[in-house]
A and B are shown apart, each in its own frame.
Chain A
């Protein structure tokens, strides 16, 4: 217990004075008796006249002393420091990152954090509100501010960590946006494993986690090129000691790669090996570390992952060559612009041809801007440089445009859609709406050295995959949309076996957030199932080394896994209860005194 004004406790010295005044007050009722002989003859009865006996027997005095003591102690502003909650509204933020599944804190960091959050909820005062936010790749508000403890506990119990990197900063921002009010508080449970935490007033961090021992499959994907299909495996050692880890890759039930990998601390090890055949490719590390979730990965080898493609061009050896090596269902070339025939192809590549308004379909436009789209070409710019591009967009994933040189490009003026790469002007633009899904390269291949870069086949393949609705290289946390075509509904089965019914919206199925890495199956009635794998959200998501709270924010220290869970230490003022007790004592004393007619009130 602490006191805000301990000097006020000197007031307790008034209690003996109070007792003395009480004893000095002449309040005895005078009663005539025939004789006091027998009263005096009783030696024990003399005890009845002792002042102490009066004190013992006087409930009124005790109530008065209680009231005075409560007031005096209340003036000293006492408070208790304990596990509990402070302030009025509380926003509980749980880091939903992959690293929170680490087992250095039993049972896991996330479970420990959730248990502590549940304890905070259980300690909420009546009427005190709380909210729950999950720091997933996109922060999720699981429960808005409410004083319904059951709803809060339900939201916490339903929360689960993602196989991805959570955005704690965005979650803190979302939590602060709940406006917890004066005295409100944002309590964040995180391991702080992904860089500095935002320093925000009113935010309390609880750092969960003690160790960094983790070896992970940081990347696992299928590569296609002219040489065929190859698999890429990247193993990362995020711990502090070198590890020798057996790695095994299977295609179906067949082991296609096996090796014991030696990875030094903080380093990665990468292997690329050819894979023949199609099916589900699974990689697994036989290792005991703190985060088993990233010790395995899945990829899918689809023999024809890309739809049929029609190349409309006056001649492009680069594109023609690409279509020969890419796993498209069917490829055709024409120099005639005949939109009526395009519907027979899944994708139409328009290479420097003017086509007017596009019919519904999927298009890759190179060096041309069709009409009827929220973009136009307002001229030509010379020697534009690629200053920035969206590496996370499925079209530009793994595409490095940093060294690409462009002689001239159309000056795209988008009024919608999304710019994927830009320099002085937008250079790569994508749009999906009105039945048209299109990617526009603002420059001709012949006006740049892009075909000479590794980025070119990746860009073309990504573009065809996105346009054709292929779900390749999906990552946890991605917003995945799949062209619905004529399908009225679909069912998505996640790695855990959970199913979600989907309805098309604007011609696409918007998949629910991919929470876990693994194999997903999209089933369309009357059509073939589409199987795709989701990888761990980001390579650095496997880093589990606990961080620290920023300076200036209150933080609970890290504890050992066997330690007692340390919840938020708060200062709970006691003076309101003491004042209430004093008032109650005074009222009780008054009621008792008024009932004693002629008594010693």
Chain B
């Protein structure tokens, strides 16, 4: 299959489709620590045992079993009839959830830009491995949705969809994921790309993903100015999502207090994810995508 050619107008995505980078992406695959229950045959060991090629177990013969799966060597040794069981190789449900709230416009490049590129890369890896890739934009509710792409040929659809995403609206990840995952019961891999600056809290959203049997991987994207604000003086800080404001006298002491609150926030988030077996990687929007995919996400256990 020929490699896809990016749209001429999308200069950012052009980087994703740098041939060398794509070639390296094609060597990667998404890691799923769980056995998957897919809908089509794929390259993942399924929880459904059947006609796969990878031996899994034996069980006593039952009437109706396919004679071809009887292990005659066992029969000759034990004089009992056993049939061999093979793991079904099914496709992996990969759900890419991209936070498109207004706060994702912050940063240089913007957090949303990085999130889209990372989603494109992960999606491309999934498509290359015959996984089913679903992309959902979330803000205060579920936004545009691109369901179940499969095969490398759908990469353009993935990229076009991501390219159209723009930041707007407030953040309510819990509500949005509840809507998105409402009928989903098969599980899979859920990658959430968000700044997690959710006034309603991130806990409900992440637990929702766990509740729907998804192996959850959180890529926490933050802008540099959120990590280390370069502010000073008498300020009225206005939240771009809610419009709410807070008046502050920002000086060195206030910045120290902010840093303390930030570190406590990160610490709580990391503990929460560890406790609920959620993989977590935090990155700044200024980190290059290739570095993030090829090093940090590999170290974080998302790709191999």
Contacts and interface: CB of A to CB of B under 8 A. Distances in A.
Contacts of B258: 38-39, 42, 45
A30 B233 contact: no
Contacts of A600: 233-234
Interface string A169-187: 0000000000000000000
A33 B233 contact: no
A220 to B, nearest CB: 88
A33 B242 CA distance: 11
Interface in B243-271: 244-251, 253-254, 257-258, 260-262, 264-265
B240 A45 contact: no
A29 B233 contact: yes
A601 to B, nearest CB: 10
A578 B257 CA distance: 40
Contacts, number: 112
Given A45-B248, A53-B249, A31 B257 contact: no
Nearest to B195: A34
A45 B226 contact: no
A41 B265 CA distance: 8
Interface in A529-575: none
Interface residues of B, number: 42
Contacts of A42: 257-258, 260-261
A405 interface: no
A36 B254 contact: no
Contacts of A36: 237-239, 242, 244-246
A595 interface: no
Given A34-B226, A35-B103, A45 B257 contact: yes
A596 B232 CA distance: 11
Interface in A28-58: 28-45, 47-49, 53-54, 57
A39 B248 contact: yes
Q: Which of A32, A34, A48 has the most CB of B within 10 A?
A: A34
Given A34-B106, A45-B254, A57-B251, A39 B197 contact: no
Q: Which of A35, A41, A42 has the most CB of B within 10 A?
A: A35
A576 interface: no
Interface in A510-531: none
Contacts of A434: none
A41 B261 contact: yes
B43 interface: no
A53 B251 CA distance: 11
A27 B258 CA distance: 22
B122 to A, nearest CB: 23
Nearest to B107: A34
Nearest to B110: A34
Interface string B81-115: 00000000000000000000011111000010000
B47 interface: no
Contact-residue bracket for chain A: 20 to 34
Interface in B206-253: 223, 225-226, 229, 231, 233-242, 244-251, 253
A596 B233 CA distance: 10
B63 interface: no
Contacts of B111: 34
B198 to A, nearest CB: 8
A599 interface: yes
Contacts of A30: 235-236, 238, 245
A57 B235 CA distance: 13
B150 to A, nearest CB: 35
Interface in B180-208: 195, 197-199
A39 B246 contact: yes
Nearest to B260: A42
Q: Which of B102, B223, B246, B251 has the most CB of A within 10 A?
A: B246
Interface in A332-353: none
Contacts of A27: 234
A599 B233 contact: yes
Q: Which of B198, B238, B254 has the most CB of A within 10 A?
A: B254
Nearest to B199: A37
Nearest to A599: B233
Nearest to B253: A48
Given A38-B265, A49-B248, A57-B251, A31 B235 contact: yes
A31 B225 CA distance: 12
A48 B240 contact: no
Given A28-B234, A33-B226, A35-B239, 8 more contacts: A31-B235, A34-B195, A34-B240, A36-B244, A39-B261, A42-B257, A45-B257, A600-B233
Q: Which 10 A-B pairs have the closest CB atoms?
A: A42-B261, A34-B106, A35-B197, A34-B103, A48-B254, A28-B236, A44-B257, A45-B257, A600-B234, A36-B239
